[in-house]
Amino acid sequence: MTFLPQETIRRKRDGGTLEPAEIGRVVAGFADGGVTDAQVAAFAMAVFFRGMERAEAVALTEAMRDSGDVLDWRGLDRPILDKHSTGGVGDNVSLMLAPIVASCGGYVPMISGRGLGHTGGTLDKMEAIPGYSVTPDNELFRRTVGQVGCAIIGQTGRLAPADKRFYAVRDVTATVESIPLITASILSKKLAAGLEGLVLDVKTGSGAFMASEEAARELAESLVAVANGAGLPTTALITDMNEALASAAGNAVEVRNAVDFLAGTHRDPRLLDVTLALAGEMLASGRLAADAQDGRRKAEAALSDGRAAEVFARMVAALGGPADFVERMDFHLPRAPIVAEVKADEAGFVVGVDARALGLAVVALGGGRTRPEDTVDHAVGLTDLASIGTRLEAGELLARVHARSAEAAEAAARTVRAAYRLAGEAPPTRPAVVARISERG
């Protein structure tokens, strides 16, 4: 019988439940062109308004996974683990998390993305390292994971290609903000990576795409349910993004922050808490720890004794970066010619930060993209960001701006100053890890 995409679209438009086989045929049409852009858009809009049951979302995710290559890690004798973040400002967790988990016995083939909107991208950060290749061939990727324990790279064109086309259409048809479609987009790529355990970092707050905790929880619950339904053991942490996670936001400046973190020179408290919590979950999911708390203790030990820093250095060298990068990062990383201090106009406690505004300040400096084809300036960014709860006197430092010109620095300084709210009383403390979501609730 001839497959008619419009009939599937009609059923979903009218509130029907789609069978896995017809979802599979629609997705195959995304990949091979058998479904037109107009039909892709209509399908997306029907799902946007009618939603999907869990079984439908699982079928959509699995079909998009199967539209391209699925990585095969047979021959490696340790669990294949990864994490995904929904994106934030100053979120350089991946740079520390991958080597921490690898040094504790996991394999971490971390397939990451570029910056999106006001949020930074892991690939853009790694490309601040001279010579580092985020697009190695499959042989080098597999060899690095097998020999070092982790590799942070970009998505190949053969992983979930149906998602690439589907997302491009959703992006221009106001259908991005659909929980089932976001879920399938994220998880299809993770399933294609051949994982055996996944931890999700779902952000909430002023710097997150899901600003409200309610929306973040809805997405986290959907991701956990669908991932486990597709056979991938998954948990999620909802984490706070009401301020930058690290005290730096940008590319080279976040790499510098990450190396300092691994070496023990400086560790931002909230960043440490989130990183160790995610590491604990990953190690527990791979049965490399009895539970998340035991995993956290193992991760702390890998940081303390230098194993994680050593793994990071080996990964950088294996993927084309300098062999002495950790020891001489200040020599290798680019620096902006202008560094300007942003000072508080008045005394008080930092009680609020518009994290999204900080991310947009980095984009305006050239550290992000306003169009996909834009070139990123890896040197620019913000450092020494004052955290919520900090007591400042008038004239004390809110942040430092790293810029290409005095004019750009001045504009960023105005944005940063406007992003901060000070008051006479200290704000209530808020945990960096807000909630944990598992299949059992």
Residue 235: inside a domain: yes
* 288 shares a domain with 211: yes
Residue 70: inside a domain: no
Beta-sheet pairing, 338-343 with 249-250:
unpaired
pLDDT in tens, 8-27: 999 999 999 999 999 999 99
pLDDT in tens, 111-131: 887 666 676 688 899 999 999
Beta-sheet pairing, 391-392 with 433-437:
unpaired
Parent domain of 101: 81-328
* 27 shares a domain with 95: no
* 314 shares a domain with 177: yes
C-beta atoms surrounding 4 within 10 Å: 12
Rg, the chain, Cα only: 22
pLDDT the model gives residue 143: 95
**In contact, 126 and 134? CB cutoff 8 Å:** yes
Can you give the CATH number for the domain in which 189 is found? 3.40.1030.10
pLDDT the model gives residue 171: 79
Confirm whether 67 is a catalytic residue.
no
Of 270, 299, 328, the last residue of a domain is 328
* 128 shares a domain with 186: yes
How many helices (H) and strands (E) the chain has is answered by 17, 13
pLDDT the model gives residue 117: 64
* 340 shares a domain with 248: no
Closest CA to 382 of 416, 337, 346: 416
The arithmetic mean of pLDDT across residues 320-345, rounded, is 97
Confirm whether 332 is a catalytic residue.
no
Can you give the CATH number for the domain in which 349 is found? 3.90.1170.30
pLDDT in tens, 25-43: 999 999 999 999 999 999 9
Residue 203: inside a domain: yes
Distances (CA, A) of 249 to 31, 159, 400, 401, 430: 36, 29, 10, 10, 21
C-beta atoms surrounding 241 within 10 Å: 33
Is residue 296 over pLDDT 60? yes
Residue 72: inside a domain: no
d(CA 224, CA 230): 10
Closest CA to 283 of 78, 68, 51: 78
* 353 shares a domain with 249: no
Residue in 12, 61, 65, 84 annotated catalytic: 84
The arithmetic mean of pLDDT across residues 82-89, rounded, is 91
In this structure, what DSSP letter does residue 80 have?
B
Quick one: pLDDT band at residue 298, thresholds 50, 70, 90? very high
* 194 shares a domain with 121: yes
pLDDT the model gives residue 145: 96
Is residue 441 over pLDDT 60? no
The arithmetic mean of pLDDT across residues 63-71, rounded, is 93
Can you give the CATH number for the domain in which 14 is found? 1.20.970.10
Confirm whether 203 is a catalytic residue.
no
Residue in 94, 185, 235, 239 annotated catalytic: 185
* 265 shares a domain with 128: yes
Residue 345: inside a domain: yes
Quick one: pLDDT band at residue 439, thresholds 50, 70, 90? confident
Residue 303 has phi, psi (to 5 degrees) of -75, -45
pLDDT the model gives residue 164: 86
d(CA 302, CA 300): 5
Residue 121 has phi, psi (to 5 degrees) of -115, 135
Looking up tokens 């997705």, which residue turns up?
Answer: 27
Residue in 67, 85, 188, 235 annotated catalytic: 85
d(CA 254, CA 4): 49
Confirm whether 82 is a catalytic residue.
yes
pLDDT the model gives residue 374: 75
* 340 shares a domain with 278: no
The residues that bridge with 435 in the sheet, in sequence order, are 238
Confirm whether 402 is a catalytic residue.
no
Residue in 65, 114, 164, 170 annotated catalytic: 170
**Residue 272, helix vs strand vs coil:** helix
Sequence-separated contacts (24+) of 305-310 with Cβ below 8 Å: 306/263, 307/103, 308/96, 308/99, 308/100, 308/102, 308/103, 308/262, 309/99, 309/259, 309/262, 309/263, 310/103
* 358 shares a domain with 234: no
Closest CA to 46 of 24, 23, 66, 63: 23
C-beta atoms surrounding 124 within 10 Å: 23
* 382 shares a domain with 356: yes
Residue in 12, 65, 83, 267 annotated catalytic: 83
The arithmetic mean of pLDDT across residues 369-393, rounded, is 89
Quick one: pLDDT band at residue 184, thresholds 50, 70, 90? very high
User: How many domains does the chain contain in total?
Assistant: 3
Is residue 221 over pLDDT 90? yes
* 294 shares a domain with 152: yes
Residue 153: inside a domain: yes
Confirm whether 330 is a catalytic residue.
no
Quick one: pLDDT band at residue 95, thresholds 50, 70, 90? very high
Confirm whether 164 is a catalytic residue.
no
Looking up tokens 């609020």, which residue turns up?
Answer: 352
Supply the mean pLDDT for the chain. Answer: 93
Residue 71: inside a domain: no
Residue 56: inside a domain: no
